[in-house]
Amino acid sequence: MSTTLNQSTIANPAPLGLLGFGMTTCLLNLHNAGLISLSIMIVAMGFAMGGLGQIIAGIMEFKKGNTFGATAFTAYGLFWWSLIMIWINPFAAIGVADPIGMGYYLLLWCVFTTFMFIGTLKHNRASQVVFGSLALLFLLLALANFTGIETLHTIAGYEGIFCGLSAIYNALGQILNQEYGKTILPL
């Protein structure tokens, strides 16, 4: 009886978190690739889906007892909120983010993501692709900031579009596979 009471009945929060991450990552990296300008559209998506959507998914993963999912979704949701704060700069008296500082900011996210990628080696291939390509994205963006080489920034943009699309695929695969009770999209 006690095991029945302790079983979680909440839905799988991973698709929400992956969609929040993937859609926002695609949108921002369309900008990084030079295809669209940075606008309120990207900031709003970052705040809502990238930030809040992932934080909600992370909290739900905590409730399910999934340390990996809870850490990943909550951390990356807070990444989006911190990035928006850097862009909007509500603390202008402190100063602005310079390219070298941004390089270190992105490098720290690369290190964190690399360790999360190692964690995905026990997960499905789709998750490995998401985290592997995200670690590469953070590395490319950090190098672009450290060196000032705009071509690296553009390459990072296209790589980021791939990363975002891989997260969207992972989310849709989880949703469709569960709905149909069979593999519609292999993960």
Domain that holds residue 32: 12-177
Domain assignment of residue 113, yes or no: yes
Residue 50's closest CA among 78, 72, 11?
A: 78
Structural domain tally of the chain?
Answer: 1
Domain assignment of residue 51, yes or no: yes
Checking if the pLDDT of 96 tops 90, the result is no
Domain assignment of residue 187, yes or no: no
Residue 143's closest CA among 106, 114, 98?
A: 106
Domain assignment of residue 183, yes or no: no
Domain assignment of residue 126, yes or no: yes
Q: What is the tens place of the pLDDT at every residue in 23-32? A: 999 999 999 9
Tokens of 186: 């292999």
Q: How far apart are CA 18 and CA 120, in angstroms?
A: 14
The torsion angle over the Cα atoms of residues 182, 8, 120 and 51, rounded to 10 degrees, is 100
Domain assignment of residue 1, yes or no: no
Domain assignment of residue 127, yes or no: yes
Domain assignment of residue 5, yes or no: no
Q: What is the tens place of the pLDDT at every residue in 151-163? A: 999 999 999 999 9
Q: What is the tens place of the pLDDT at every residue in 32-91? A: 999 999 999 999 999 999 999 999 999 999 999 999 999 999 999 999 999 999 999 888
